[in-house]
């Protein structure tokens, strides 16, 4: 399928941000977006790159009522000599396909997705920030647009990709976070949609996150829905613990989002000879191994930060400093290695990097 390209009039192009240190996350957007329409007769059609504009939706559009809305999160990186890289983009494309299937939405054509993504990033390449650790955040999205009030899968959809330049996650170096263990509220239950990037999961997480903030914590440490005993994720990231010589992360049981960074951490650490265990890890075990000194590091993993050290957990009214409360050596090594692969600064043993220019 051809992608029609309609470029924004250069006279009304937005100024590029001058101070990259003030970019923050997801505050400003590039000049163009990629958009494709779907209906059950024509399938995916009308693929175009156009000036970014508000969407026109019927107030009855199904995404606004019953939550058929999925998304992805990925980045483009600027390397040496203005090269442009994506990181494992086919993983995001495949994951969005699985999210679509689970929410009874039509899978986007993988080749069209990749082609639209590459063309859009190249058209907007001047928006990719230059500062160390900065990048262009990419948000593929799919919404149901049928105007009808009945709970059923929509017949019409929009797929689009918007992009936002984002600053370095750690402009002043790592700062280990304090996280709040939520026992009352859960993120996802087995059999639900916790393993999809479905919009409703994030709405459902806000209340517990507000509670965490009120307790002075940065994020929620989510426990399993049934027993409220085993750790699952932290905020919108996966979670890892170093106990003894093992790197431990909860298994992809169905309620956990299969993070691409999680997979990269597992494969990279495995290649260094580290023993990786994907197994259930209870709060009791975390506290006892912390008390006897065998728990050395804890970190979250996700596209936004790569890895984020966890220094303290707040559980049942008490604070527990994990390890020595600082960023652990494995956390730091993983961060540096993945970052250098993403920016083209070192060889790429797994073939994760996609150079698009």
Ligand X SMILES: *Cc1c(COP(=O)(O)O)cnc(C)c1O
DSSP-assigned beta bridge partners for residue 243: 246, 295
With respect to ligand X, which residue has the nearer C-beta, 123 or 212?
212
Q: Point out which span in 28-36, 231-239, 272-280, 326-334 binds ligand X (CB under 6 A).
A: 231-239
Measured CA to CA, the distance from residue 217 to residue 229 in angstroms comes to 20
Q: How far is the CB of 198 from ligand X (least distance, A)?
A: 9
**What CA–CA distances, in Å, run from 100 to 93, 142, 235, 251, 257?**
11, 8, 22, 22, 14
Give the nearer residue to ligand X in terms of CB position, either 243 or 260. Answer: 260
Query: Within 185-214, which residues bind ligand X (CB under 6 A)?
Result: 197
| Contact set for ligand X, span 54-113 (CB under 6 A) | 73
Rounded to a whole number of angstroms, the minimum distance from the CB of residue 225 to ligand X is 14
Nearest-approach distance from CB 1 to ligand X, in angstroms: 27
Give me the 299-328 binding string for ligand X, x by CB under 6 A, dash otherwise. --xxx-------------------------
Smallest gap from residue 181 Cβ to ligand X (A): 16
Minimum CB separation of residue 340 from ligand X in Å reads 17
When the beta carbons of 194 and 328 are compared against ligand X, the nearer one is 194
Exposure string over 319-338, b if 16+ CB within 10 A, otherwise e: ebebbeebbbebbbebbebb
Region binding ligand X by CB under 6 A among candidate stretches 32-40, 156-164, 252-260, 267-275:
252-260
Total of residues contacting ligand X (CB under 6 A): 14
Angle between helices 329-342 and 260-271 (to 10 degrees): 110
Question: What is the smallest separation between the CB atom of 231 and ligand X, expressed in angstroms?
Answer: 13
Q: How far apart are the C-alpha atoms of 68 and 10, rounded to whole Å?
A: 36
Choice from 31, 224, 233, 297 touching ligand X (CB under 6 A): 233
Range 255-284, binding ligand X (CB under 6 A):
257, 259-262
Distances (CA, A) of 261 to 75, 170, 296, 307, 320: 12, 17, 21, 8, 26
Nearer to ligand X, 23 or 256 (CB): 256
Strands 4-5 and 43-51: parallel
Strands annotated E in 22-155: 32-39, 43-51, 69-71, 74-78, 84-87, 135-144
User: In terms of residues, how long is the chain?
Assistant: 357
Going by DSSP bridges, is the β-strand pair 219-223/177-182 parallel, antiparallel, or unpaired? parallel
Helix, strand, or coil (residue 1):
coil
Question: What does DSSP say about strands 156-166 and 32-39: parallel, antiparallel, or unpaired?
Answer: antiparallel
Rank residues 129 and 259 by Cβ distance to ligand X and give the closer one: 259
Q: Which is nearer to ligand X, 156 or 197 (CB)?
A: 197
Q: Which is nearer to ligand X, 32 or 197 (CB)?
A: 197
Nearer residue to ligand X within complex by CB, 23 or 265: 265
* Stretch binding ligand X (CB under 6 A), from 97-105, 234-242, 245-253, 329-337: 234-242
**Rounded to a whole number, what is the distance in angstroms from the first to the last CA of the chain?**
22
Point out which residues bind ligand X (CB under 6 A). Answer: 73, 197, 233, 236-238, 257, 259-262, 301-303
């Amino acid at each position: 399928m051809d992608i029609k390209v309609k470029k924004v009039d250069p006279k009304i192009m937005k100024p590029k941000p001058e101070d990259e240190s003030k970019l923050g996350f997801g505050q400003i957007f590039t000049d163009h977006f990629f958009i494709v329409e779907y209906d059950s007769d024509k399938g995916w059609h009308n693929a175009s790159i156009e000036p970014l504009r508000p969407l026109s939706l019927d107030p009855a559009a199904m995404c606004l009522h019953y939550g058929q809305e999925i998304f992805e999160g990925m980045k483009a990186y600027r390397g040496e000599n203005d090269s442009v890289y994506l990181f494992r983009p086919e993983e995001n494309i495949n994951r969005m396909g699985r999210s679509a299937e689970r929410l009874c939405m039509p899978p986007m054509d993988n080749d069209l997705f990749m082609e639209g993504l590459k063309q859009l990033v190249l058209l907007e390449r001047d928006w990719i920030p230059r500062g160390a650790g900065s990048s262009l955040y990419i948000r593929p999205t799919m919404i149901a647009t049928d105007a009808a009030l009945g709970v059923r899968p929509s017949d019409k959809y929009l797929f689009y990709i918007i992009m936002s330049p984002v600053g370095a996650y750690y402009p002043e170096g790592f700062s280990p976070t304090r996280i709040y263990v939520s026992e009352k509220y859960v993120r996802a239950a087995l059999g639900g949609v916790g393993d999809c990037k479905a919009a409703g999961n994030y709405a459902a997480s806000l209340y517990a996150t507000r509670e965490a903030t009120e307790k002075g914590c940065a994020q929620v440490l989510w426990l399993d829905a049934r027993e409220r005993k085993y750790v699952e994720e932290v905020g919108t990231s996966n979670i890892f613990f170093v106990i003894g010589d093992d790197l431990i992360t909860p298994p992809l049981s169905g309620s956990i989002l299969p993070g691409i960074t999680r997979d990269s951490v597992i494969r990279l650490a495995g290649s260094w000879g580290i023993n990786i265990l994907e197994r259930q890890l209870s709060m009791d075990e975390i506290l006892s191994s912390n008390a006897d000194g065998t728990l050395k590091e804890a970190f979250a993993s996700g596209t936004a930060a790569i890895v984020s050290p966890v220094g303290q957990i707040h559980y049942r009214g008490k604070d527990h400093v994990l390890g020595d409360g600082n960023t652990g050596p494995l956390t730091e090594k993983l961060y540096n290695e993945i970052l250098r692969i993403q920016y083209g600064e070192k060889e790429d043993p797994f073939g994760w990097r996609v150079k698009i220019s």
